[in-house]
């Protein structure tokens, strides 16, 4: 497996796991918004008052999966940009690939 693929998978796993500990600390909502932007969905469902949906495991699973996709997309974009602009070290020149 290529190094960039491992980095993308690592970012996806971090994006999936990151909202889970933040569930325990519901008082720190701003940190949750910065690290897990899909958590705004929970507020959209909680506008009319507390219901079963904002505390639902299905909603949090969807938010974790969406956050994992977001993190993996950012990591793959960074890996692609790095692959395009890194110098070719094998030929001894600084020619771009």
In this predicted structure, what is the pLDDT of residue 5? 87
Q: Pick from 67, 52, 59: which is nearest to 19 by CA?
A: 67
Specify the number of domains making up the chain: 1
pTM of the model: 0.71
The predicted-structure confidence for 14-67, as pLDDT tens digits, reads as follows 999 988 777 666 656 677 778 888 877 777 766 655 555 545 677 788 888 999
The predicted-structure confidence for 62-88, as pLDDT tens digits, reads as follows 888 999 999 999 999 998 888 888 766
Residue 35 inside a domain? The answer is no
Task: State which residues form the domain around 73.
Answer: 1-24+53-84
In this predicted structure, what is the pLDDT of residue 13? 93
Distance of CA 11 to the CA centre of its chain: 6
Those residues whose C-beta lies under 8 Å from the C-beta of residue 34, and which sit 6 or more positions away, are none
Residue 9 inside a domain? The answer is yes
């Amino acid at each position: 497996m290529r190094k960039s693929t491992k980095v993308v998978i690592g970012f996806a796993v971090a994006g999936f796991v990151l909202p889970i500990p933040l569930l325990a600390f519901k008082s720190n909502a701003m940190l949750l918004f910065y690290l897990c932007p899909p958590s705004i969905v929970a507020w959209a469902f909680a506008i009319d008052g507390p219901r079963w949906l904002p505390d639902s495991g299905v909603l949090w699973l969807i938010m974790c999966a969406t956050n994992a996709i977001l993190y993996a997309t950012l990591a793959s974009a960074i890996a692609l940009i790095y692959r395009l602009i890194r110098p070719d070290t094998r030929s001894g020149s600084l020619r771009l690939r």
